[in-house]
Structure 1
Amino acid sequence: MIRASGTAGFQGHPATVASSRLTNAVAASLAVAALSLCLIVTLTVLSTKATMAMGLPV
Protein backbone atom coordinates (compact mmCIF):
# COMPACT_ATOMS: atom_id res chain seq x y z
CA MET A 1 0.00 0.00 0.00
CA ILE A 2 1.52 3.29 -1.10
CA ARG A 3 0.62 6.50 0.68
CA ALA A 4 0.51 9.76 -1.26
CA SER A 5 2.84 12.40 0.10
CA GLY A 6 1.30 15.12 2.27
CA THR A 7 -2.07 13.42 2.78
CA ALA A 8 -1.69 11.95 6.26
CA GLY A 9 -0.97 13.40 9.66
CA PHE A 10 -0.37 17.04 10.39
CA GLN A 11 1.86 17.73 7.44
CA GLY A 12 1.38 20.77 5.31
CA HIS A 13 0.55 24.38 6.05
CA PRO A 14 -1.93 25.17 8.82
CA ALA A 15 -5.04 27.00 7.64
CA THR A 16 -6.21 30.17 9.35
CA VAL A 17 -9.34 29.21 11.25
CA ALA A 18 -10.57 32.53 12.65
CA SER A 19 -9.78 36.17 12.22
CA SER A 20 -7.65 37.99 14.77
CA ARG A 21 -10.64 40.14 15.73
CA LEU A 22 -12.67 37.05 16.63
CA THR A 23 -9.74 35.59 18.54
CA ASN A 24 -9.33 38.81 20.52
CA ALA A 25 -13.06 38.93 21.26
CA VAL A 26 -13.03 35.36 22.57
CA ALA A 27 -9.94 36.06 24.68
CA ALA A 28 -11.53 39.20 26.13
CA SER A 29 -14.76 37.42 26.98
CA LEU A 30 -12.84 34.61 28.67
CA ALA A 31 -10.89 37.18 30.70
CA VAL A 32 -14.11 38.89 31.79
CA ALA A 33 -15.62 35.54 32.74
CA ALA A 34 -12.55 34.63 34.80
CA LEU A 35 -12.63 37.97 36.63
CA SER A 36 -16.35 37.58 37.30
CA LEU A 37 -15.78 34.12 38.73
CA CYS A 38 -13.00 35.43 41.00
CA LEU A 39 -15.27 38.23 42.20
CA ILE A 40 -18.11 35.81 42.95
CA VAL A 41 -15.81 33.49 44.90
CA THR A 42 -14.35 36.41 46.87
CA LEU A 43 -17.78 37.76 47.79
CA THR A 44 -18.94 34.28 48.81
CA VAL A 45 -15.93 33.76 51.07
CA LEU A 46 -16.30 37.19 52.65
CA SER A 47 -20.02 36.75 53.30
CA THR A 48 -19.40 33.31 54.79
CA LYS A 49 -16.75 34.73 57.12
CA ALA A 50 -19.09 37.56 58.15
CA THR A 51 -21.90 35.11 58.85
CA MET A 52 -19.64 32.89 60.93
CA ALA A 53 -18.36 35.91 62.89
CA MET A 54 -21.92 36.91 63.85
CA GLY A 55 -22.73 33.45 65.14
CA LEU A 56 -26.00 31.60 65.05
CA PRO A 57 -28.93 32.81 67.17
CA VAL A 58 -29.97 30.22 69.73
Structure 2
Amino acid sequence: MSELKEEVAVAAAKASPPVLAFWSGLTVHDLVGWMTVAYLALQTAHLLWKWRRAAQKARCEPSS
Protein backbone atom coordinates (compact mmCIF):
# COMPACT_ATOMS: atom_id res chain seq x y z
CA MET A 1 0.00 0.00 0.00
CA SER A 2 2.89 2.34 0.77
CA GLU A 3 4.31 1.90 -2.74
CA LEU A 4 0.96 2.84 -4.25
CA LYS A 5 0.81 6.05 -2.19
CA GLU A 6 4.34 6.92 -3.24
CA GLU A 7 3.55 6.35 -6.92
CA VAL A 8 0.41 8.49 -6.69
CA ALA A 9 2.33 11.27 -4.94
CA VAL A 10 5.06 11.25 -7.60
CA ALA A 11 2.51 11.29 -10.41
CA ALA A 12 0.61 14.17 -8.79
CA ALA A 13 3.81 16.17 -8.34
CA LYS A 14 4.74 15.66 -11.97
CA ALA A 15 1.29 16.73 -13.19
CA SER A 16 0.77 19.71 -10.88
CA PRO A 17 2.38 22.53 -12.98
CA PRO A 18 0.39 21.80 -16.16
CA VAL A 19 -2.83 21.29 -14.17
CA LEU A 20 -2.29 24.56 -12.33
CA ALA A 21 -1.61 26.36 -15.60
CA PHE A 22 -4.72 24.86 -17.18
CA TRP A 23 -7.00 25.90 -14.31
CA SER A 24 -5.62 29.42 -14.06
CA GLY A 25 -5.67 30.09 -17.80
CA LEU A 26 -1.89 30.52 -18.00
CA THR A 27 0.29 28.61 -20.36
CA VAL A 28 3.27 26.67 -19.06
CA HIS A 29 5.49 29.26 -20.75
CA ASP A 30 3.80 32.06 -18.76
CA LEU A 31 4.07 30.06 -15.56
CA VAL A 32 7.82 29.53 -16.06
CA GLY A 33 8.25 33.25 -16.70
CA TRP A 34 6.43 34.23 -13.51
CA MET A 35 8.30 31.67 -11.45
CA THR A 36 11.58 33.05 -12.82
CA VAL A 37 10.56 36.58 -11.80
CA ALA A 38 9.62 35.34 -8.33
CA TYR A 39 12.94 33.49 -7.99
CA LEU A 40 14.91 36.58 -9.02
CA ALA A 41 12.97 38.73 -6.53
CA LEU A 42 13.71 36.29 -3.71
CA GLN A 43 17.39 36.12 -4.64
CA THR A 44 17.61 39.94 -4.73
CA ALA A 45 15.90 40.26 -1.35
CA HIS A 46 18.25 37.68 0.18
CA LEU A 47 21.34 39.41 -1.22
CA LEU A 48 20.21 42.82 0.08
CA TRP A 49 19.52 41.31 3.52
CA LYS A 50 22.94 39.65 3.52
CA TRP A 51 24.72 42.91 2.60
CA ARG A 52 22.78 44.88 5.19
CA ARG A 53 23.56 42.35 7.91
CA ALA A 54 27.28 42.41 6.98
CA ALA A 55 27.31 46.21 7.09
CA GLN A 56 25.63 46.27 10.50
CA LYS A 57 28.04 43.65 11.83
CA ALA A 58 31.02 45.67 10.55
CA ARG A 59 29.74 48.80 12.31
CA CYS A 60 29.27 47.00 15.63
CA GLU A 61 32.71 45.38 15.72
CA PRO A 62 35.48 47.50 17.24
CA SER A 63 38.21 48.33 14.76
CA SER A 64 41.70 47.14 15.64
State if a TM-score over 0.5 links the two structures.
yes
Give yes or no for the alignment of 1:22 onto 2:30. Answer: yes
Give yes or no for the alignment of 1:40 onto 2:48. Answer: yes
Measured on the aligned residues, the alpha-carbon RMSD in Å equals 1.9
Which of these two proteins has the greater Rg computed from alpha carbons?
1
Number of positions where the alignment pairs a residue of Structure 1 with one of Structure 2:
42
TM-score, scaled to structure 1: 0.64
% identical equivalent positions: 10
Task: List alignment gaps of at least 5 residues for structure 1.
Answer: 1-13
In 2, distance between residues paired with 1:50 and 1:16?
Answer: 47
Q: Which structure carries more helix by proportion?
A: 2
TM-score, scaled to structure 2: 0.58
